[in-house]
Structure formats: structure tokens, C-alpha cells
Amino acid sequence: MPLEGKSVAILIAPRGTEEPEFSKPKQAIEEAGGKVTVVSFETGVARTVNSDLDEGGSYTIDKTCA
């Protein structure tokens, strides 16, 4: 696996990120053997949307940045 043993950070907005724009890259990294660290500007949970209006998934934020 090309990312075996690697850690990859993905930056996500706390609210409003489109579900597939976050979940598909996250899934690809994990399938390639990488460990994903979810980074955002706030602590807690990031919530995604589908088509700008419908609720998507919820993702625990691992680290914050300023």
C-alpha cells in the first residue's frame, strides 16, 4: 500500500463542506493505508452537507489550527 505508515492531514470547515469533497479523499487515503488526521478551525465535530442543503456526515475533529 503506497501510504502505509503515513499520516495525512485533511483540513475541513466546521460546517458546510460538501460530503463527497471530504469523504472521498478521506476514503482513498485510508484505502491506500494512510492514517487520516482531521484538522479544522474549531474543536468538536465538523458537519458536512449534500447539495448545499441536506445534512451529510459528522466527523470528529482531531486537531485544530488557527
**Domain span at residue 12?**
7-64
> What are 14's three cell numbers?
466546521
Beta bridge partners of 7: 35
Q: What is the pLDDT averaged over residues 40-48?
A: 97
28 within some domain? yes
Evaluate whether residue 1 is within a structural domain: no
Q: How far is CA 31 from CA 19, 26, 36, 43, 62, in A?
A: 18, 9, 11, 26, 19
Within a domain: residue 41?
yes
Predicted pLDDT at 36:
98
Is the pLDDT confidence value at 66 over 90? no
> Cell match 442543503: residue?
53
Mean pLDDT of the chain: 96
- Fill in the DSSP letter of residue 34: P
pLDDT band for position 49 (cuts 50, 70, 90): very high
Asked if residues 33 and 5 have their Cβ atoms less than 8 Å apart, the reply is yes
2 lies in some domain: no
Domain count, the chain: 1
Summarize the confidence of residues 15-24 as an average pLDDT: 97
